[in-house]
Each structure stands twice: as C-alpha cells, then as structure tokens.
Amino acid sequence: MPLCPECGVNSLFYDREVRQYVCSRCGSTYTAQELLVEREKRMARRFEESRKRRYHREYLEWWLSAKGSQ
C-alpha cells in the first residue's frame, strides 16, 4: 500500500468508483499519477540529502587530514 503524502500513514486504499486512492485517516485523495510524482520527489530529496552528507563527510575528512599534516 502506498503512503499518504499528507499524513504519512500507510492507509491508502483504492476507491474504484472515483478511480483514486483515498487515505482512510485524513481523507485526502490521489490519482496514481500524483502518487508517482510524490514518490519521485521524495526519492530526489533523499538523493540530495545523501549527496550533501557525503560532501560534508568528505570535506571534513579532507580538513582533518590537512590539520594533521601541519
């Protein structure tokens, strides 16, 4: 089951009558396309956060190694 982008709960179910996913907790409705776009955005944010952490870690290692050689 997909996660609800609004409340973050694993409670979306597919309503065949309206052809949308509905959150049983907050009542938000989403099409399959909207859920796909949200998932891609979430993955892009995770990738960017990972890239920033890696850059910070590499910079810190470089800075500490430069301080140690003096």
Q: What is the pLDDT of residue 69?
A: 62
Q: What proportion of the chain, given as a percentage, has pLDDT over 90?
A: 61
Helix (H) or strand (E) holding 55: helix 32-68
Helix (H) or strand (E) holding 46: helix 32-68
Q: For residue 39, what are the CA distances in angstroms to 35, 65, 69?
A: 6, 39, 45
Position 65: which residue type? S
Q: What is the pLDDT of residue 49?
A: 97
Q: How far is CA 63 from the centre of its chain?
A: 31
Give the model's confidence band at 2: pLDDT under 50 very low, under 70 low, under 90 confident, else very high: confident
